[in-house]
Chains A and B, each alone.
Chain A
Amino acid sequence: MRSEFDGLMRSPMGRRALLKYLGYASLLGGTGVLAACRQDVTQTGTDQGASPTARPGIEEEPGVLRVFTWAGYELKPVWKPYRQAGYPEPKFSFYTNTEQALAKTAGGQDWDIAHPETSYIQDYVNIGAIQPWDTSLIENFDQLNPMLQRAGQLDGQQYEIVTDWGYSAPIIRTDHLDPSIKSYSHLFDPAASGHISWFDTPWILMMAGLTLGMSGDEVFDMTPEQLEEAKNFAIDRKKHLYNIWVDFTQMWDDVRKGVVWAAYSWPDTFAVLHAEGVPVAYIRPEEGTLSWAEGLVLHAETENYYHAHEYANSWASAEVGQWLIENYAYGHANLNVDLSNVDPDVVKVFGLDDPEYNLSEPVSYIDRWLPNRAAYNRAWDEVKAA
């Protein structure tokens, strides 16, 4: 039996037949999938969701929201008011970065609500994946920082309810570096050679640009010459690096042990290490602190339109904001958050008591859509490959 089988396997006819059928199967499957993808893009790109007149009431909606978000945002305190109002528990799925979320969305993944940074709203609109919110349905919307909400608008429409924000800036060890120097230059300082840690992101090029004297406005849309200059500067300073981190807990550990003296970081790094008594300072660069803001976007084809608004209302509440600040040290857009339980140093360093001033230009530059993101990425590749 075995020899017969082997004989067939080895016969030229058998191989030919196998390849032929494999080819047919691939062609058939490939054509089907390609056609489906093409159709999906077309549909997604043109359909902007059900018209308000055709929209069913909240009681007629499926009710179980599909929330596509970051790990950690599925915890019950984050949607506590929504739960207390009696709505069913959402189904959460996760992504590790916004590009991945966009890729999956473009590929057809369904969700009702996602949680991207403001700089990606344009991309979501470009693929026809999201629709504007009706802010009149969000009771807590009036309590939200209007400046942050403007970052969630496109063409005057509120595509994102901006909920949380933070900075991307250097954390330094004060026993090795001078905290009075308020600059991104800490991340490029030869005096800290061998003890600098960058994050794996093209934002390093923007920080290099700011260090070189470019303005906050310019670094989000650098000319090819400026990008070249920032890239060359980063390549030149790369020799002073300890590493390029991808796991923030490892970076925390490196700063904690004193192996790293200056690191690209977010506010939670300072909150954690400061609470542990590690001698660190979070630098708010005078060039203008690069900051990020993110929030909730509504899928263009959601069947849970009203539930989604209730969920956004929950996220926008001061109660959720307080939990977020106390537990993640992120800022929250609600201006009525009670800061009495937050470490005063954290409040002071991040300016949580006056977010409107601290997030306004030129003190800070909120992340923007990069019209030339691919060029930034290729330049960043060159830095890493150098």
Chain B
Amino acid sequence: MTTTARVELSAPPVAPRARRRRGLLGLLAAPTGFLALFFLVPVLMVAAYSVGLLTLLPHDLYLSLQPWRDFFASETHVGLFWKSVRLSVVVSAVSVLLAYPIAYALALVAGRRKYTLLLVILAPFLTSYLLRVLAWRVILGDEGLIITLLRDVGVLGPEGQISWLFYSPFAVYVVLAYVWVPFVALPIFVTLDGMDRDLLEASHDLGATRWTTFLRVTLPLSVPGVVAAFVFVFIPTIGEYVTPLLVGGPNGFFFGNAIQGAILQGFDWQFGAAMAMFLVGTVTVLLVLFGRYLNVRAVAE
């Protein structure tokens, strides 16, 4: 056998690699096409509409940045954006705080029953989102569980009310946190469940208390899951409009509601498109930042 022949034999075979590549592309074609057609194309259309590259109505501005200028000039709408950011940050943080002990108990305490319990925790997802939101009316409403209880024990008078309990930003925060906690528990659970238990034993062997072990071993190792969980809540809640609409009352107006209003109420579609694209852009930037600096990928892997 000549040297040339040996080189040819040791080189990776070209044909199988090309086949694998074709196979991979074939596998990806359907989801990629689906995403492109039903996600990227609509986003591109909204972007094009916001600058008048695409117009639908006679009063639409053709090739104009005016909708964007109007948005940045509007203290109200920029203010609403920050109000929504605040809402998302608080809801995400509270959800993570509430979900962490659940995920911890499932992963490290529940033993063989953990998957059964996980299913129980996820059971609310079998119910309609709207129903879960509206159910809070029974708890927080004027004649609801909390008010009735407080009246019965004499904390409130017979007609007593707590004005901030329902139809308030507080109600929006509570309901959103409730809705997202089971979802948030998942990535944290996955991280904790995949953690090397020998590390915990080593910590104990070295004399660390349970609390120290948690603070110096468990918590740092679960950070990727916590970050992923935070992002999972932050992204959908920043554009949230249904929950504020149903339980937010006079002050439950957020950025998502403004977008909805511009499209469905005001016939102000280019302005609405500009706001929507600003939101999409912001979320994209945040995703990139989270992905790059906070190692979210580790959770997926």
Contacts and interface: CB of A to CB of B under 8 A. Distances in A.
Interface in B19-76: 20-21, 24-25, 28-29, 32-33, 35-37, 40-41, 44-45, 48, 53-59, 74, 76
B266 A243 contact: no
B246 A373 contact: no
Question: Which 4 residue pairs spanning A and B have beta carbons closest together?
Answer: A377-B266, A25-B36, A384-B253, A374-B268
B163 interface: yes
A379 to B, nearest CB: 9
A385 B250 contact: no
A100 B260 CA distance: 11
Contacts of A8: 20-21, 24
Nearest to B163: A194
30 contacts: A18-B28, A18-B32, A21-B28, A21-B29, A25-B32, A26-B36, A26-B40, A29-B37, A33-B45, A45-B58, A99-B263, A99-B265, A103-B264, A107-B56, A123-B267, A127-B56, A127-B58, A194-B163, A202-B266, A241-B249, A243-B167, A243-B249, A374-B266, A374-B268, A378-B266, A381-B258, A384-B253, A385-B76, A385-B79, A385-B253
Interface in B166-209: 167
A377 B20 contact: no
A265 B275 CA distance: 31
A374 B269 CA distance: 9
A25 B33 contact: yes
A106 B57 contact: yes
A259 interface: yes
Given A100-B264, A127-B57, A385-B76, A243 B37 contact: no
Given A22-B32, A97-B264, A201-B265, A242 B167 contact: yes
B25 A381 contact: no
Interface string A323-336: 00000000000000
Given A22-B40, A123-B267, A374-B268, A34 B54 contact: yes
A37 B267 contact: no
Contacts of A33: 41, 45
A118 B76 CA distance: 31
B79 to A, nearest CB: 7
Contacts of A238: 250
Given A22-B32, A29-B37, A377 B268 contact: yes
Contact of A14 (B24, B54, B55, B58): B24
Contacts of B25: 17, 21
B142 interface: yes
B152 interface: no
A243 B143 CA distance: 15
B230 interface: no
B245 interface: yes
Interface in B248-280: 249-250, 253, 257-258, 261-269, 271
Contacts of A244: 249-250
A242 B161 CA distance: 12
Given A8-B24, A99-B264, A123-B57, 16 more contacts: A21-B28, A34-B54, A37-B54, A97-B265, A99-B266, A100-B264, A126-B58, A200-B245, A243-B167, A373-B268, A374-B267, A381-B80, A381-B262, A384-B250, A385-B77, A385-B258
Interface in A38-82: 38, 41, 45
Contacts of B79: 385
A296 interface: no
Nearest to A26: B40
B76 A382 contact: yes
B14 to A, nearest CB: 14
Nearest to A198: B250
Interface string A230-241: 000000001001
Contacts of B53: 34
Nearest to B29: A21
Nearest to A386: B76
A106 B45 CA distance: 14
